[in-house]
Structure formats: C-alpha cells, structure tokens
C-alpha cells in the first residue's frame, strides 16, 4: 500500500521488507480445551506463551490478526534498559521497598534479557547490541542526566556518563551536551523478533491461532469460555495481552481499556544512507533517543536506512505530510552530513500509556490477568513482564512480580484524558526549544 506525499510515493511498515518468512498459523476452527488462553500475539503474549510452555502448561494463543500486526511489529526496535521519564527514585516512591527494587532491577537487566533470549533461541531478527545512547539536547539538562546515570548505575544497570566530546564524536553530531550510555541496549527488527517469538513458542508446543479475535468471554463452572467467530477455547486461566485495544474492536475488559491512554506514534524509514555519511554516525551502531519531550530517536537498519519517529501534535489531521517535513528538517539540522533527507516508508502504531509510566498487572477476575508494559518503550518490559506473569500463574510465587497485582484503575474523564499526550505535545515542544 502506498501513501502519496510531497516527497513521493511512500510505503507502509518497513520492517517486513527485511524480515524472514513467517511460520504458518491458522484460524481457530474447533472447540478446544487447555490450561491457558493467551489473547494477543504481540511480544507480551508470545513471551507469556513461551514461558508457560517452558513450565509444561498447555497454552493456546488467540490473535485477532497475525503476530506483529500491532505495536510489536510496528515500533522503532530500540531495546532500552530504562523507563520513559521515570528513574529509580520515582519507582521506589510509587512502589515502596518491596516491589520497587524488583522493578528497578527488571528494567536495568531488561535489554540484556532480550538479547539473551534472542541468542538462546537463535532468533533471526537483526539484533545488534550496540548500546543505547541517551544524549542531553540542552546544556541545562546535563546535571539531571548525570544524576540519572548515578541512580541507574547504583541500581545495578550498566549506565555510564559520556562527556560532550565523546558523545558528539560517537553520535556524529555537534548538537549534544553529553550522554547516558548503556552498553546493554541496542536495536532489532521488531517485526522479525515478534515472528520469531511466535515460531519459538509454537515449536515448544504452544497452539497459535491467527485471524481469531476473541469476541466474548463467559465464565462457566470455574473456567472461561472464549468465543471467536469460528471456534471456542475453554481455559482455566486467561492472560489478556491486548495492549491498547485497536480502535473499532470492543474492549474485552472495559475497565482495563480505560486504565491506559492510547497513543498513536509514527515511524519513518529513510532511503538508504550513503556509506560515507553512515560511517560518520552512531559509530558503534547504537540506538539513540534523546532528552526531548518530543523525543528524537533513531537507529540504523540492516540495509543502511535510518528509522526515526514522532507524534503528530494536536491532531492526526494531515499527520503524515506534517511529520515527513518536520522530521526531515530535524534530521538535516542535527546530522548535516546526511544532506537532503528522503523517507521511503511511513507508518503508525498504537501504544498504551499508564499515568505514571510504570507497568501494570491487572487482575480482571479470578485467574484472568491483563499485563500492560508498553508506555512507548516496551520491547524489554513486555518481554520480561510476560515471562514473570506467566511464571506467577504457575507457581503463585508473588515474590518475583515486579509490580503488585491490582484491579483495573480507570482514569478519570478518560474520554478527554485520552487526548492529553497529543494536546500537550506542543507545550513540551516549546519547552524543548527554550532549553539551552
Ligand atoms: C510506533 C511505536 C514505536 C515504538 N517504539 C518502541 C521502541 O523503539 N522501543 C521499545 O522498547 N518500545 C517501543 N514501542 C512500544 C512497544 O512497541 C510496545 O511496548 C510493545 O510492542 C507492546 O507489546 P504487546 O504485546 O503488549 O502489545 P501489541 O504488540 O499491541 O499486541 C497486542 C496484540 O493483541 C491483539 N488483540 C487485541 N485485541 C484482541 C482480541 N480481542 N482478540 C485477539 N487478539 C487481540 C492485537 O491484534 C495485537 O496483536 C513503540 C510503540 C509504537 C506504537
């Protein structure tokens, strides 16, 4: 599918173009019985299914479309050992001495856990553990970022400070003032990673059904009956891993849907960058995201493109042409060696934000769990949280859960609050521009 834009015809989602062939899955066309029903074949659902199989449970994954159809196959692929906006002290304040250290540790080790999993199962997803670089875009942010480095390294992460000269040399841009650098981070092809998770879970014995949206769930005699258009699954435990339910699909647990803010994020892939310019940028093939409210993130792909992204301020109206112009200008300013930036791909995906940017483990009913780990930086979090909630349902050992189980907590005035990130973005952009 192509979209006409001022810079020429563009294609959607770049990632499938360099991913391998998907394993073949089929629609559910029977009535089956199993221990676990996992709803959603994104990173969270598939990691849960894999962990359940490693625990010997019988598990069926029901996916409305196909693995990687949603955020998991449409994101930027930056594997980041950190939380968006919040640091270890915020986590401790919100979660206390019991859960706080566990979540901090899970985050600090999260990127390494992803790369270890990929290596363990030989997943073909162009994974590059080149480190994560988080540069300060303004001098006044340097002290705060250094404090963040201290806090994360005290918490056990591999974060360290890179001074201005080192950071600019490594990044290939004079725009930055020093950086947090963590060698455990990196990037991957998220579409391929999700497909490989599906292949691995299936090889371990998980049943995966595509084109099988769960339309309704009924409780019956201590078990659940999940109905899809062409079959049913009877299960004792449900792991609902549906993230931000796609618009147009009825939420299976409305209170969970109202506990997160859905957010549309755009991703763009440039045309192939000439070797000379490429050699002078991100010299260790790092993943980069900076300190702006209007986040600047980028990484190279296996075929030498740059993937970057952003949100459309205020409204989705004409979002693509607006972002094509503004993101090209931004890249040309920060990396003049690129010359005129041209994009070949633009696509969008749906993220889910929690009000404090921390993950959640919602308990919808007895043995019905809905983990949320997205917050726009969820590759590592959904990988590890999916494994933890799966393990918990098997051994009931809550001492390894990084956040408490809780009932869904709908956000007040959700119908309005859901537009807050988009409406407040211009304020953040002004703040970004005023920082020196
Ligand atoms: C554009 C974008 C860029 C991002 N960039 C990054 C990044 O660079 N780094 C990073 O760490 N994170 C990033 N994220 C966040 C990351 O993509 C998510 O945290 C992660 O993919 C969420 O995985 P998930 O499995 O929870 O959800 P999803 O991938 O959204 O999967 C949910 C699945 O549930 C299915 N489903 C929904 N309802 C039903 C139903 N009723 N029946 C059956 N199936 C159903 C959907 O079809 C979908 O496949 C980004 C997100 C977006 C949108």
Residue nearest (by alpha carbon) to ligand 1 atom 16: 378
CB atoms closer than 10 angstroms to residue 291: 22
Q: Are 273 and 299 in contact (CB under 8 A)?
A: no
Residue 81 has pLDDT above 60, yes or no: yes
pTM of the predicted model, to two decimals? 0.96
**CATH H-level, domain 19-75+192-260+356-417: superfamily:** FAD/NAD(P)-binding domain (3.50.50.60)
- Is it true that 19-75+192-260+356-417 and 127-189+262-354+421-434 share their CATH fold? no
Q: Are 358 and 91 in contact (CB under 8 A)?
A: yes
Q: How far is the CA of 351 from the centre of ligand 1 (A)?
A: 6
What DSSP string runs through 265-309? Answer: EEEEEESPPPHHHHHTSSTT--EEE-S-SS--EEEE-TTS-EEEE
DSSP bridge partners of 261: 353
The alpha-helical segments, DSSP class H, found in 121-245 are: 142-154, 164-171, 190-203
Torsional sign, CA 399, 401, 403, 405: negative
Fold of 127-189+262-354+421-434: D-Amino Acid Oxidase; Chain A, domain 2 (3.30.9)
Residue pLDDT, tens place only, 345-378: 999 999 999 999 999 999 999 999 999 988 889 9
pLDDT confidence band for 6 (50 / 70 / 90)? very low
Residue pLDDT, tens place only, 167-178: 999 999 999 999
Residue nearest (by alpha carbon) to ligand 1 atom 21: 72
Q: Which protein residues are within 6 Å of ligand 1, measured from CB?
A: 39-45, 62-65, 69-72, 74-78, 80, 213-214, 241-243, 245, 249, 252, 265, 267, 309, 349-351, 373-374, 376-379, 382
CB atoms closer than 10 angstroms to residue 159: 25
Look at residue 17 in the predicted model and tell me its pLDDT.
97
Residue nearest (by alpha carbon) to ligand 1 atom 3: 75
> What are the boundaries of each domain within the chain?
19-75+192-260+356-417, 127-189+262-354+421-434
Which of 195, 253, 374 to mutate to test ligand 1, by most ligand atoms within 8 A of the CB atom? 374
Minimal CA–CA distance to 300: which of 130, 428, 170?
130
DSSP 138: S
Structure tokens at 196: 């490989």
Look at residue 160 in the predicted model and tell me its pLDDT.
98
């Amino acid at each position: 599918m192509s979209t006409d834009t001022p810079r020429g015809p563009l294609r959607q989602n770049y990632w499938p173009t360099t991913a391998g062939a998907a394993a073949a899955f089929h629609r559910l066309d029977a009535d089956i019985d199993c221990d676990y029903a996992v709803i959603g074949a994104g990173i969270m659902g598939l990691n849960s299914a894999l962990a359940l199989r490693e625990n010997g449970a019988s598990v069926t994954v029901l996916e409305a479309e196909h693995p990687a159809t949603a955020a998991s196959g449409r994101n930027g692929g930056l594997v980041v050992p950190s939380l968006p906006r919040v640091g270890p002290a915020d986590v401790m304040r919100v979660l206390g001495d019991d859960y706080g250290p566990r979540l901090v540790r899970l985050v600090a080790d999260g990127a390494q856990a992803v790369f270890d999993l990929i290596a363990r199962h030989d997943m073909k997803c162009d994974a590059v553990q080149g480190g994560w670089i988080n540069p300060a875009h303004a001098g006044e942010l340097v002290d705060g970022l250094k404090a963040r480095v201290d806090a994360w390294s005290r918490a056990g992460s591999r974060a360290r400070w890179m001074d201005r000269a080192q950071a600019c040399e490594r990044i290939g841009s004079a725009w930055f003032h020093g950086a947090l650098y963590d060698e455990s981070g990196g990037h991957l092809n998220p579409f391929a990673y999700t497909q490989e998770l599906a292949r691995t879970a299936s090889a371990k014995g998980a049943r995966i059904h595509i084109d099988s949206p769960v339309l309704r769930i009924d409780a019956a005699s201590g078990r659940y009956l999940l109905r899809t258009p062409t079959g049913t699954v009877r299960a004792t435990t449900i792991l609902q891993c549906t993230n931000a339910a796609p618009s147009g699909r009825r939420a299976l647990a409305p209170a969970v849907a109202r506990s997160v803010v859905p957010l549309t994020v755009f991703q763009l892939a440039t045309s192939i960058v000439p070797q000379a310019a490429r050699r002078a940028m991100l010299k260790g093939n790092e993943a980069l995201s900076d300190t702006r409210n209007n986040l600047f993130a980028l990484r190279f792909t296996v075929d030498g493109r740059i993937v970057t992204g952003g949100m459309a301020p205020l409204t989705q109206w004409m979002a693509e042409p607006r972002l094509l112009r503004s993101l090209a200008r931004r890249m040309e300013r920060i990396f003049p060696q690129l010359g005129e930036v041209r994009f070949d791909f633009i696509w969008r995906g749906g993220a889910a934000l929690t009000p404090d940017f921390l993950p959640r483990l919602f308990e919808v009913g007895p043995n019905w769990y809905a983990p949320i780990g997205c917050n726009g930086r969820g590759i590592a979090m959904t990988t590890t949280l999916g494994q933890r909630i799966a393990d918990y349902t098997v051994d009931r050992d809550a001492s390894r859960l990084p956040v408490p189980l809780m009932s869904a907590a709908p956000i007040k005035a959700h119908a309005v609050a859901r537009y807050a990130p988009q409406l407040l973005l211009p304020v953040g952009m002004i703040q970004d521009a005023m920082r020196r």
